Chains A and B, each alone.
Chain A
């Protein structure tokens, strides 16, 4: 897989508000952030703090009110081929097999079916579903379906992978093994990863840096460097200390 790639994200003065019952609700207030190529940035924050909104703006699915997002110096307008999104739900097309779903992203980008399926098979194997290539989504468990969604995003070989609580709906056991899988994929694919989560342990397990979105108006976004060797050990004392630090940020400790 490719080595040196783009994927530097520059966020400048980004703001976004929604009309809510006649008044404006400011969700993002002049946010500044640089995401380095190849890093794993995890976004946490209270419910309603704008995590999904930020990710959707980065994906190009939502327009910001002010400010700009640039990728490798180029301002983004809408969706782009250098990005891929993994949603909270798998969002698989029920009428396509696993293979069809994983190849879908490439096919809509104009890659011939045979070539798309060849590349799709590689990533289906990578997420451990080679045996299920011909299964339909209804025949998959929740965790398997989510892995198909991940394979679909990887197949288009994005520079930037945007993930919105991709493991939120999974049970604890599946979640931990999927976190390990994501860590492995991230290091193997050399991709910039921006991921939203509610799970602080997941954040520390995966992140180079954790972005904490402020809970109330006027608060500032905070960044925490997670300086731990990989693969990370959840029970290690430094890991636990990072967890406590994050809890303190949330005022829970």
Chain B
């Protein structure tokens, strides 16, 4: 029996006492719509304002096309399939780089967070790499790896690596030493302490890294696709602008925003499942 259970019972009791049974569905409806309005009202207002401003000629609709035109372009691109190939290649680039960053950064971060010597040795070069913008290094990667897929994936990987690595390290270091001592007092060995205390303790911070990493990966995806690509969402943004297909350009931007939102939401859900104990995750 958890506390939530008790709270729920209390909530129901108060509800029933409050109003007549006939009012219930209507009450619920207004309550739900009020919640939706308070959450999405401003966004909705923004879209309406855009639509009105663009279609009534307050702004140049050639540069800022009305919302419905953008939606139509998006629909055509998705249903007609002309944008699907771009989405696929972009997802492949970002996904590959992100996965590689996870595979490298999390184990390395777990080691660095625990082994003082390794961290001391690697920290200066890490700080140097981190402060050097990945975009500034992109030409270098192109020289080394060519203008193809490899340099694109690598620059995304590079930029994603650091938020993941640094958050994993700090997650490990911030595990309460009193908990580590408690485990030691019960006779836990190093590996057990790692598995049962350090790792679960670092998970919330690792998720911060994953979410930052996902954002970074998408950012670098666009940037890399704007240089020397002939496919991909980032390429479509540039290309549509170049060909003055402005609704298509905005459609591609909307897709990018949607990818970011989806990636973040996936991580939030995953975090909630893994960190049920953590209030801030809920």
Contact = CB atoms under 8 A, between A and B. Distances in A.
A60 B186 CA distance: 11
B1 A79 contact: no
Contacts of A138: 277, 279
A85 B186 CA distance: 8
Interface in A45-86: 59-61, 79-81, 84-85
A134 B183 CA distance: 21
Contact of A91 (B182, B276, B278): B182
A136 B1 CA distance: 11
Interface string B79-119: 00000000000000000000000000000000000000000
A228 B50 CA distance: 84
A87 to B, nearest CB: 7
Contacts of B279: 138
B128 interface: no
B277 A109 contact: no
A134 B1 contact: yes
A180 interface: no
B101 to A, nearest CB: 25
A109 B186 contact: yes
B183 A108 contact: yes
B197 A93 contact: yes
- Classify the interface of chain A: helix, strand, loop or mixed: loop
B278 A87 contact: no
Contacts, number: 62
Interface residues of A, number: 29
Indicate the member of B179, B184, B185 with the most A CB atoms within 10 Å: B185
Given A79-B185, A108-B183, A93 B200 contact: yes
Contacts of A136: 276-277
A5 B78 CA distance: 76
Given A79-B185, A91-B178, A95-B278, A131 B200 contact: no
B188 A139 contact: no
Contact of A84 (B179, B186, B201): B186
A235 B3 CA distance: 38
A202 interface: no
A110 B71 CA distance: 60
A108 B200 contact: no
A120 B85 CA distance: 56
B2 A134 contact: yes
A94 B178 contact: no
Interface string A104-147: 11011100000000000000000000011011111100000000
Interface in B198-213: 200-201, 203
Q: Which 4 A-B pairs have the closest CB atoms?
A: A108-B188, A91-B182, A95-B277, A105-B186
30 contacts: A61-B181, A79-B184, A79-B185, A79-B186, A79-B187, A80-B187, A84-B186, A85-B182, A87-B182, A91-B179, A91-B182, A93-B197, A93-B200, A94-B277, A95-B200, A104-B183, A104-B186, A105-B186, A108-B187, A108-B192, A108-B196, A109-B186, A131-B1, A132-B1, A135-B3, A136-B276, A136-B277, A139-B2, A139-B3, A156-B186
Given A61-B181, A80-B187, A132-B1, 13 more contacts: A79-B184, A79-B186, A84-B185, A85-B182, A93-B196, A94-B278, A95-B275, A96-B277, A105-B186, A108-B186, A131-B1, A137-B277, A156-B186
Interface of A: 59-61, 79-81, 84-85, 87, 89, 91, 93-96, 104-105, 107-109, 131-132, 134-139, 156
